[in-house]
Amino acid sequence: MSRKLIVLAMCSFALSACSSAPATDETAAEPATPTASFDWFEYTGNDPAFSEPPGPDGYLNPILAGFYPDPSVTRGPDGYYLVHSTFSYFPGIPVFHSKDLVHWEQIGNVIDRPGMLDFDGLGLSRGVFAPTIEYHDGVFYVANTCVDCGGNFIVTATDPAGPWSDPVWLPEVGGIDPSLFFEEDGSVWIMNNDEPPGGSTYPGHRAIWFRQIDPGTFQSISEPNVLINGGVRLEDEPIWIEGPHIYHVGDWYYLSAAEGGTAVDHSQVVLRSKELTGPYEPYENNPILTQRHLPADRANPITSVGHADLVQDADGDWWATFLGVRPYEGDLYNTGRETFLMPVEWKNGWPVILEGEEEVHYNMDTLPAPLGKIGYHIPETGNFTLREDFDGEALPFHWMTLRVPQSEWWALEDGSLELRARPVELGSGEQPSYLGRRQQHQNAVASTQVTFSPEISGDEAGLAVLQSDEYFYALGLTVSDTGTPEVVLRQRAGADDPLNGPLVAAAPITGGTVELKITARQDAYDFAFRTPGSDEWTVLATGLDGKVLSTQVAGGFVGATFGLYAEAGPR
């Protein structure tokens, strides 16, 4: 049976995919708990900035809207491949494929098997940071860091859709953001961010290190040396030099890295050398990409840009993928850090993305030269509606859960997604029965239909919008202490709140099936429910604070997700 993913206002098509089953079932020792059945899930995004469609020779930024940070791109034998950070979500590190750098289809996830990495006990913004992908001699390589869960590692695959190898750990490579370079003579090199020799002399003082590794074992075979200490102008005490890449173009080796941290001071800088191991001299007009100097009150701002990776199109022209954010006010955004695309112009032998007062635009008027036919794809930017009817054999690749599951608590059965309620709360910091997808718009609507028969107070299933363990709203079907079925809304807005969030509102219902809806309006969220077949929604709460779901308030590096959940009370 093929899964049908209905795309309204854009196109309709059938998409097949598979996701790995969780680890061996450990449910036998657990008490019996009810199961929630979700008939469908629908997501709609409608941002004014996307209202003007691109021309026939243009495209929209971001090319991947929503929580797709730290993009790294490579060109393989059948197109382009892109990976991103997912931190402590599972499956981790999505793999996208494209023929033209604009239209992307997710084909798998790198971290898709329990046992590859362990995120137990980690906050959602720990785990896998800033992966880099390279293709060389028939093999795809992803270098990455598992923060607080093992350090730096490399995985490989001959098919980027997977399976990927188990991690090969790099105990001698410290810090974060490892990146590979394959030299023409067959040697393999790795660079990474870490403290400079002798330690940091000011907060955020880091260096880019470089060493040769064995092509088979990936272990170090040379002493490391420093390529950049601090940044391009050490006297200014630059912070967080990271995300390095090296490109060999003509007679020069170009070293490009992010600088300034991933907030509004984020930027991209470039240096070059005639020798791979340096010394590298910085471009006098650095940075080659930033928006930190532009007025904060400009219309539809795109900020915090950087962490770029460069690639060539079919005509040999250069393009840069990089992260940025779309705040709705100040530095407030709930959609996380997103993936953007801009052309690269070579100026006097230097690659430049933007200079001066130039802005990153939503609507671009130049397309990369494609490598082949684009084909159908799920929309990842612009305004669209997606409906999932759960009638396939596996969930689409973009569904994620918090940390790594160790038991089989979800299943696709007879056109429904079944979630077993477990005694793990959304705010517990553990691995709840929760499957989510990214909020990709400032203005979005997520809705679902759930059937659930709660047995005791504490049994609950429904729809949540979640930024972290400490910050979320949960709209669910439960039963009161007196046995009355009801819809409840809970909000957790900080670590001092109860794990499952204080009660905000509740309303009695009849029957065990209900439709639930959460509407995001930039910094405000509305919550409603109705009986299936009804034309009218009952508003449970409106205009609740959405800023608590922003990165600025909640902290960390992730964006909000809309998700389906099921919890069980103590038995």
CA distance 61 to 69: 14
The amino acid at residue 73 is: V
Instruction: Decide: 40 and 6 in contact? Cβ < 8 Å.
Output: no
How far from 314 is each of 77, 80, 177, 329, CA to CA, in Å? 12, 11, 28, 39
The amino acid at residue 120 is: D
Q: Which residues pair with 402 in a beta bridge?
A: 89
Q: Is 183 a catalytic residue?
A: no
Q: Is 317 a catalytic residue?
A: no
How far from 123 is each of 8, 194, 310, CA to CA, in Å? 35, 22, 31
Instruction: Decide: 565 and 432 in contact? Cβ < 8 Å.
Output: yes
CA distance 47 to 326: 11
Cβ-based neighbour number of residue 77 at 10 Å: 7
The amino acid at residue 326 is: R
Instruction: Decide: 145 and 128 in contact? Cβ < 8 Å.
Output: yes
Using the structure block, give the residue that is written with the tokens 């809705």.
447
The amino acid at residue 546 is: G
**Active-site entry in 42, 47, 70, 380:** 70
Question: Mapping DSSP to helix (H, G, I), strand (E, B) and coil, where does residue 29 land?
Answer: helix
Picking from 102, 104, 101, 138, the residue whose alpha carbon sits closest to that of residue 313 is 101
The amino acid at residue 539 is: V
Picking from 323, 444, 436, the residue whose alpha carbon sits closest to that of residue 383 is 444
**Active-site entry in 47, 112, 177, 242:** 242
Question: Mapping DSSP to helix (H, G, I), strand (E, B) and coil, where does residue 27 land?
Answer: helix
Q: SS3 string of 195-252?
A: CCCCCCCCCCCCEEEEEEECCCCCCECCCCEEEEECCCCHHHCCCCCEEEEEEEECCE
Instruction: Decide: 308 and 70 in contact? Cβ < 8 Å.
Output: no
CA distance 558 to 402: 12
Is residue 78 exposed (0-12), middle (13-18) or buried (19+ Cβ within 10 Å)? exposed
Query: Active-site positions?
Result: 70, 242
